[in-house]
Amino acid sequence: MSPYENRYWWSKDGVRLHYRDYPGPADRPPILCLPGLTRNARDYDDLARRLSPEWRVIAIDLRGRGESGYAKDPMSYVPLSYVQDIEALLGELGVARYVAFGTSLGGIVTMLLAGTAHESLAGVLLNDVGPDIMAEGLSRIRGYVGKSNTWPTWLHAARAVAEANGDVYPAFTLEDWLAMAKRLYRLNSAGRIVLDYDMKIAEPFRVPGNEAGLDMWRALDVLKAVPTLIVRGATSDVLSAATAEKMVAALEYGELVTIDQVGHAPTLSEPAAVAGIDRLLSRISA
């Protein structure tokens, strides 16, 4: 029997969106899990299985990823659209208070959600992301997002993932790379292994001047009194140690956990991350 149910909701612009709903008690705020730019709900499966049924976990596929529909307008692949999509889901579910776990882009969306209704947040985890993103990491992301590859077997896909991410996860085994490939890729109708997202999510990156963005430090400031865990990969090229320390200093109930020998982004299954998550949830439940 599956540990979750596949559920769907509709965005305001008519995109059918998907989430995995892992059961948990109604008297605790659910944990809303938001994945990174090219990732999907499968990234949170290990975490959700560990926390459910003590906590209800809602793992989302952002528009254009996983089992969510692709947007007609590729310029809707931006954080403010994701915020509107999630607000629509929360409204439909009648969720007034929740915990948000956000990895990379999901963390940016989490901070923006806080800006619209910080009183709804019982706690936050920001995984390897902050108000300032390192230029090196942003350049690397621009270099691969939206570039399609196909593979004949899962082993070929796993080897490709290992070649691209070996410096991020130096301790990974072949089994780990296979598991990651199955989170990143899917089998298409032609029997090929392909990336599980709309290649058009890259189009907003090509718009001149989009680097200016929003003042994310102001967004972080609204989390000042919210229990917040910041997880950082020690070799991350996205979240610098200096930015992470500045974030913790700005938060009354912030904690920083650094994952040794890991880059962008930690899987949240590392022992230090697991312990940090358990401390965060203990504070929330208390």
One digit per residue, the tens of pLDDT, for the chain of length 286 reads 899 999 999 999 999 999 999 999 999 999 999 999 999 999 999 999 999 999 999 999 999 999 999 999 999 999 999 999 999 999 999 999 999 999 999 999 999 999 888 889 999 999 999 999 999 999 999 999 999 889 999 999 999 999 999 999 999 999 999 999 999 999 999 999 999 999 999 999 877 655 545 789 998 999 999 999 999 999 999 999 999 999 999 999 999 999 999 999 999 999 999 999 999 999 999 8
The number of domains in the chain is 1
In sequence order, the β-bridge partners of residue 232 are 258
By residue count, the chain amounts to 286
Asked if residue 175 is part of any domain, the answer here is no
Query: Across the beta sheet with 228-233, what order do the strands follow?
Result: 5-10, 16-22, 57-61, 31-34, 98-103, 121-127, 228-233, 254-259
Q: Say if residues 32 and 98 touch (Cβ distance below 8 Å).
A: yes
Q: Report the phi/psi class of residue 268: left, alpha or beta, with left for phi > 0 and alpha for psi in -120 to 50.
A: left
CATH number at residue 121: 3.40.50.1820
In sequence order, the β-bridge partners of residue 102 are 34, 126
The per-residue pLDDT for 31 is: 98
Asked if residue 73 is part of any domain, the answer here is yes
Asked if residue 119 is part of any domain, the answer here is yes
Give dist(CA 276, CA 256) in Å, integer: 9
Asked if residue 255 is part of any domain, the answer here is yes
Asked if residue 226 is part of any domain, the answer here is yes
The per-residue pLDDT for 115 is: 87
Find the angle CA(131)-CA(132)-CA(138) to the nearest 5 degrees. 120
The per-residue pLDDT for 119 is: 87
Question: Distance of CA 37 to CAs 34, 43, 73, 115, Å?
Answer: 10, 12, 17, 20
Domain that holds residue 270: 5-134+214-285
The per-residue pLDDT for 212 is: 46
Asked if residue 246 is part of any domain, the answer here is yes
Q: Say if residues 64 and 72 touch (Cβ distance below 8 Å).
A: no
Q: What is the DSSP string of 222-283?
A: TTTTS-EEEEEETT-SSS-HHHHHHHHHH-TTEEEEEETT--S---S-SHHHHHHHHHHHHH
The per-residue pLDDT for 236 is: 98
Q: Say if residues 254 and 282 touch (Cβ distance below 8 Å).
A: no
